[in-house]
């Protein structure tokens, strides 16, 4: 099994777990004319990665990875699962994380079963745990011997790629502008990945208030294309 090819497959934007159906509040920003062109799309993406994703899903990923390396007990995984659930305050974002996590686990179970992931899925199915995508992705990638740096870089990139895909559809911005933003923000992703292991654990789940509000407002938008 080739770790690089495995990473490319499970991180592909067309990997059928439903990621394309979510905007994570971006649809609200666009509806309110806050994100309205390439410049504001880049600013939004940069802010999301640096001030939201870094403290939330990327931090959850990193914590799950560490627990797997240490072969932590089921109880510690359960505690992290509960913490992530509590920290994802907006309903739509919490549900998106659960749905993507469950679909990811079910699909990878058919590709190449991993015991810890199978146990996680079983605990979710029996309603013992909630299930979250960041945890599932980290657990699977670590088990298949993908490097931490590569896996976390891909995880960041996938989030950014989703933002740009949604901006191209909704703002809209051109595909070329989207690709330029993806390329331009590579150094930011490199920096965040390098800093992630040293992040103050007390800051995990640090709230980006405006983002949470936009996610909550999305639930009542008059017209919605995305689930979140």
- Residues 188-209: tens digit of each pLDDT: 999 999 999 999 999 999 988 8
Does residue 68 contact residue 116 with C-beta atoms inside 8 Å? yes
CATH number at residue 85: 1.10.4190.10
pLDDT at residue 173 in the model: 96
C-alpha to C-alpha distance for 193 and 62, rounded to whole angstroms? 10
Q: Which range of residues forms the domain containing residue 90?
A: 3-9+23-218
What is the 3 state secondary structure string of the chain?
CCHHHHHHHHCCCCCCCCHHHCCCCHHHHHHCCCCCCHHHHHHHHHHHHHHHHCCCHHHHHHHHHHHHHCCCCHHHHHHHHHHHHHHCCCHHHHHHHHHHHHHHHHHHHHHCCCHHHHHHHHHHHCCCCCCCHHHHHHHHHHHCCCCHHHHHHHHHHHHHHHHHHHHHHHCCCCHHHHHHHHHHCHHHHHHHHHHHHHCCHHHCCCCCHHHHHHHHHHCCCCCCCCCC
The total number of structural domains that make up the chain: 1
User: In this predicted structure, what is the pLDDT of residue 87?
Assistant: 95
- Residue 17 within a domain: no
Asked if residue 166 is part of any domain, the answer here is yes
Helix orientation angle between 74-87 and 115-125, rounded to the nearest 10 degrees:
60
| pLDDT score at 78 | 96
In a domain, 152, yes or no: yes
| Residue count of the chain | 228
Token digits of residue 37: 């062109």
How far is residue 180's CA from residue 42's CA, in Å, rounded to a whole number? 10
* Under 8 Å between Cβ of 136 and 151: no
Which residue ranges of the chain lie beneath pLDDT 50? none
CA distance 136 to 119: 11
Does residue 16 form part of some domain? no
- Please state, in angstroms and as integers, the Cα–Cα distance from residue 68 to each residue in 14, 62, 115, 137, following that order: 27, 10, 12, 12
Would you state the pLDDT for residue 222?
79
Euclidean distance between CA atoms 206 and 185, whole angstroms: 22
């Amino acid at each position: 099994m080739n770790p690089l090819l495995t990473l490319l497959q499970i991180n592909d934007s067309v990997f059928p777990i439903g990621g394309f159906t979510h905007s994570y509040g971006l649809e609200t920003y666009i509806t309110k004319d806050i994100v309205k062109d390439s410049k504001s799309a880049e600013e939004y993406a940069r802010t999301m990665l640096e001030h939201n994703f870094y403290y939330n899903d990327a931090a959850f990923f990193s914590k799950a990875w560490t627990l797997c390396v240490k072969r932590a007990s089921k109880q510690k995984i359960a505690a992290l699962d509960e913490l992530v659930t509590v920290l994802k305050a907006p309903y739509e974002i919490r549900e998106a994380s659960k749905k993507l996590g469950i679909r990811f686990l079910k699909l990878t179970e058919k590709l190449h079963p991993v015991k810890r992931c199978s146990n996680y899925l079983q605990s979710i199915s029996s309603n013992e745990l909630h299930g979250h995508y960041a945890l599932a992705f980290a657990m699977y990638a670590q088990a298949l011997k993908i490097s931490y740096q590569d896996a976390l870089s891909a995880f960041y990139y996938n989030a950014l790629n989703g933002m740009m895909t949604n901006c191209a559809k909704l703002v809209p911005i051109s595909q070329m502008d989207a690709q330029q933003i993806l390329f331009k923000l590579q150094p930011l992703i490199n920096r965040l990945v390098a800093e992630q292991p040293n992040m103050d654990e007390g800051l995990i789940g640090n709230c980006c208030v405006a983002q949470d509000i936009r996610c909550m407002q999305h639930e009542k938008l008059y017209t919605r294309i995305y689930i979140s």
